[in-house]
Structure 1
Amino acid sequence: MKSGVFRRLLVTYILIMTIIVGLLSVLMSQYLKVYFFNNKQKDLTNTGRQVETQLIRYRRGDLTKEELEKQINVIGRVTNSRIIIVDGHNSGAAIADTGLEDDLETILKRVLDGEKVIKRQQYASELNSYVVVVGIPTGSAESKGAILLFSPVYEVAQALRKVYEVIWITAAIALVVGLILVWITSRRISRPVIELSRMAEQIARGEAVPDVHGMADDEIGQLTRSFNYMKNRLAETDRMRKEFIAGVSHELRTPLSSVRGFIQGILDGVICDDDQEKYLRLAFEETNRLTRLTNDLLDLTKLEAGVIKLNKKEIQLRKLIDDSILTIRRSSGKEGFTSIVTVTPENLSLKADPDRLKQVLINLLSNASRYTPDNGKIEVEAKLYGSEVKILVKDSGIGIPDAELSFIFEKFYRVDKSRDSSAGGSGLGLSIVKNLIELHGGSITARSSAGNGTVFEIILPQ
């Protein structure tokens, strides 16, 4: 992984830099070559205009032929060029030079026809080198003439060679410096990816790894934060899984051990015939407890997996609360508490799943009934606050200590650490309640203190 990511980044950057630097060097070289040749052509053209001026003076009689040749020679030495003048007034004879080569005669004919000719490279055997040729037509239609200027290419070539050396040396230095920077950048980019890969392998092996810190606010940093979040979520899920398994094991072990003991006692004859019905009833109660625990586990699993869908309807809160209290009285057989129901306004309704909301109320009322002594009071209050409905379930029971209050919605959590099944419940009821309320888009909180009763507050969107 390390060599793969680092090598791919390094090779990719090197290829990109080499292509860019090479392309820029070639383009710069070609540009300068064209630039130098164009300047040479402009210089020769300007020289040709100077020669034409002297030729006009010669035609006017201001200069003799010898003076013209002298002027042309001076101009040629100064500009390092060879100059040929063909004067139409002298029947096309060369005034300032003679001996045109065959390949230059074609150029001369084109110039005499009135065409300005520029050739960047033309071999001149007399000079034994390549030259830049500029041909300028002169005279009138009746007496056509031409000025031909030749300048060696080696001057331009020498200048270009020096420029090429500078360009390629600069390119080489830039490439070396770039390679060093690319190596550093590749290491910097690949290091967090390699580190995350190594940590992912450690997590896969079940090892604990710390959070990764100090990343920049870029895509790599975002990847690191996502990795930290995923790692912590996995750790939390694993912790919850272990606690869940431990809780389920504990909850199942006690009733199963009891049922097994009762049946074993009856089979071994330890329990006499008169007591068998009593112990069979106890075994039946334990199997009912196991059934409730299994149903709660299934409900909680479905809720946490998000597979439970709500069937929302318009429901009257007063009727739903009364039905829930009646259900608790019948199922618990406990009539010794006073129930008070207050709904404001009395026809208060909301859109919710009636079965799931009744399940919430029954769970809360069952807890209130279980931990409220005889002749105690259970009060249910529902009010409308703007677009929300607040439901309060209060009891005058034994209450919950402050230190325990923040844990009561966790799975299998009981304030009674002994987990005595005589108190009833599986430790899943409040966790189910919380999930159902949140599935409705609401929230639930609890307020209590030891000996002063408990208040559960539900807020639901109407």
Structure 2
Amino acid sequence: MKRLKNQFRGLYWRQMFVTAGMVMLTLTLLGAAFFSLSYNYARNQKSEEIGGRAQILSRLSVSYLESGRYLDMEELRNDRDFQKLATFAATVSDVQFLICDTEGHVLLTTDDSLEGQVLTMPEEMTREVMEDGQAARRDNLEGLYEKKRFIVGVPAVSPNTGVVVGEVFAVAATTSLENMWQGFVGLFFMTAFVVLMISFMASSVTTMRQIQPIREMAAATRQYAEGNFDIRMNDYGREDEIGELAASFNNMAESLQQTERQRREFIANISHELKTPMTTIAGYTDGILDGTIPPENERQYLQIISNESRRLSRMVRRMLDVSQLQAMDPLRGGNHFDVCESMRRVLISMEKKINDRHLDVDADIPEEPILVLGDTDMITQVIYNLLENAAKFAREGSTLYLGVTTLDGKARVTVRNVGDTIPAEELPLLFERFHKSDKSRSEDKDGVGLGLYIVKTILEQHREKINVTSENGITTFTFSLSTE
């Protein structure tokens, strides 16, 4: 029962109920408006038709009523000429006539059902005829008729004196109008049913087209919560909001899958990177403690333990640096600085490392300042990391290149070295966390594989990109900075 109740609370049934309610409300309002208009129109038409016939008989009756010789209904009925005239008019026009004096007393009626009765028209209708020139309504004449009928009364006016000498009332049954209304009501309900069914079917198809992707998204979300990011939405070839939502959902899934993959790689990499120095530290420490390592060699192995401890410390510090960099927005202040000055400071700080490798430096740095948008410390770190990396892997005795040029509102910084050619398939991996071009991870003992990743992170924070090429032993890193 609860499940059934929840189903009826769903978007599908809500949409169906709203559609049904709107259609019913629209049909009801249209039906009421059309019924009212048709009723008034038919009533006016009927009144005009009956009133016209009453006018004809009133003109024919003037000569009989004007003389005033008829004092009651019996005397007027005995006048065969007038009786034939009234009966003929009633037969031809399909209405019954009541011919009255000015006070509403019926002198003659063509309705056989009223024969022998003393009749007086309602005072209100009589007064309305005398004052307004016509009275029209649906009435049963105070119970004289079982059902209401159309009654139209007109005065009989003498053409000679202009004096009202009597009144003529035309009475017609409402059967034709009632039949029309009944037909209209039947047609209305039949049309309403057909329209409602069509609306239900159209709404059902439309709603299902909207609900199905949402249900798939809900199911996919549950899969994502369980760690399965392989599920993708079907866009059904739609170019509307649902199709756009499905595309965005798939993009989100791709991003989540990539993030999850990077997270697993990060955990695997950091586990490997942390395990190596920790294993070395633990192994040599145990060797000293249990006497495996001779006392005369303890200092040598203590130095190794110290070096590994420092490398472990540097790795943790670099990881913290990355986390802090990802939370910064260096463009928020809109500050500019001289990138040439930053490059000079890096060259000075790298002098010892460059000399130790017996490297020459080709510095193409203009004397005039080149102002770029960004954070000076972060960009200095980028240049330092790139130059340090270039010096580390450069062939001993070769030449390093560090230069900057401006083009199209951008300052383009280039760092180049001569060494081993990096395979093309490995170039995209250089900027990943913990990646080292040395597959054995044994030659570069001081590196932790985060230098180039920090470079990419800082440039992404500046909304810039870095490119790398490696051909014929020449490896070139180039990145841009906005000067505007």
Q: Which TM-score applies when normalising by structure 1?
A: 0.88
Query: In the aligned structure 1, how far is the partner of 2:311 from the partner of 2:286?
Result: 20
Query: In the aligned structure 2, how far is the partner of 1:452 from the partner of 1:283?
Result: 36
Aligned runs of 1:158-237 on 2, under 5 Å? 158-207=179-228, 208-237=230-259
CA contact (8 A) 1:311 1:353 kept: no
Query: In the aligned structure 1, how far is the partner of 2:199 from the partner of 2:245?
Result: 27
Deviates more, 1:73-82 or 1:430-439: 73-82
CA contact (8 A) 2:105 2:119 kept: no
Q: Is 2:92 the partner of 1:78?
A: yes
Task: Determine the structure 2 residue equivalent to 1:121.
Answer: 139
What letter is aligned with 2:349?
T
Query: In the aligned structure 1, how far is the partner of 2:200 from the partner of 2:359?
Result: 84
> 1:387/1:58 Cα in 2 relative to 1: closer, same or farther (>3 Å)?
farther
Q: Is 2:454 the partner of 1:432?
A: yes
Query: In the aligned structure 2, how far is the partner of 1:308 from the partner of 1:273?
Result: 53
Query: In the aligned structure 1, how far is the partner of 2:63 from the partner of 2:322?
Result: 113
C-alpha deviation, 1:67, in angstroms: 5.2
Aligned runs of 1:251-400 on 2, under 5 Å? 251-306=273-328, 313-330=335-352, 334-344=356-366, 346-400=368-422
What's the secondary structure of 1:413's corresponding residue? coil
Deviates more, 1:396-405 or 1:109-118: 109-118
C-alpha deviation, 1:255, in angstroms: 1.0
What's the secondary structure of 1:132's corresponding residue? strand
Deviation digits for residues 164-219 of structure 1, max 9, x if unmatched? 22222222233334333333333333222112211211221223313423152223
What letter is aligned with 2:479?
I
Task: Determine the structure 1 residue equivalent to 2:27.
Answer: 21
What's the secondary structure of 1:217's corresponding residue? coil
Task: Determine the structure 2 residue equivalent to 1:413.
Answer: 435
What's the secondary structure of 1:129's corresponding residue? coil
Q: Is 2:153 the partner of 1:135?
A: yes
CA contact (8 A) 1:370 1:423 kept: no
Query: In the aligned structure 1, how far is the partner of 2:139 from the partner of 2:377?
Result: 97
C-alpha deviation, 1:162, in angstroms: 2.0
> 1:326/1:195 Cα in 2 relative to 1: closer, same or farther (>3 Å)?
same
Query: In the aligned structure 2, how far is the partner of 1:393 from the partner of 1:194?
Result: 53
Query: In the aligned structure 2, how far is the partner of 1:307 from the partner of 1:244?
Result: 24
Deviation digits for residues 386-427 of structure 1, max 9, x if unmatched? 421111111112231212112212222222222236353222
What letter is aligned with 1:77?
T
Count residues in correspondence. 457
Query: In the aligned structure 1, how far is the partner of 2:173 from the partner of 2:151?
Result: 9
C-alpha deviation, 1:2, in angstroms: 6.3
Query: In the aligned structure 2, how far is the partner of 1:366 from the partner of 1:2?
Result: 65
> 1:273/1:249 Cα in 2 relative to 1: closer, same or farther (>3 Å)?
same
Task: Determine the structure 2 residue equivalent to 1:5.
Answer: 11
C-alpha deviation, 1:244, in angstroms: 0.8
Q: Which TM-score applies when normalising by structure 2?
A: 0.84
Q: Is 2:265 the partner of 1:243?
A: yes
Task: Determine the structure 1 residue equivalent to 2:129.
Answer: 111
Query: In the aligned structure 1, how far is the partner of 2:38 from the partner of 2:217?
Result: 50
What's the secondary structure of 2:192's corresponding residue? helix
Deviation digits for residues 270-296 of structure 1, max 9, x if unmatched? 222332222222222212211221122
Q: How many percent identity over aligned positions?
A: 24
C-alpha deviation, 1:363, in angstroms: 0.4
| Unmatched segments (≥5 aa) in structure 2 | 1-5, 68-75, 111-116
Give me the CA root mean square deviation: 3.0
C-alpha deviation, 1:235, in angstroms: 0.8
CA contact (8 A) 2:358 2:397 kept: yes
C-alpha deviation, 1:254, in angstroms: 0.7
CA contact (8 A) 2:433 2:450 kept: yes
> 1:304/1:92 Cα in 2 relative to 1: closer, same or farther (>3 Å)?
closer
1:97 to 109, 124, 131: 109
What's the secondary structure of 1:406's corresponding residue? helix
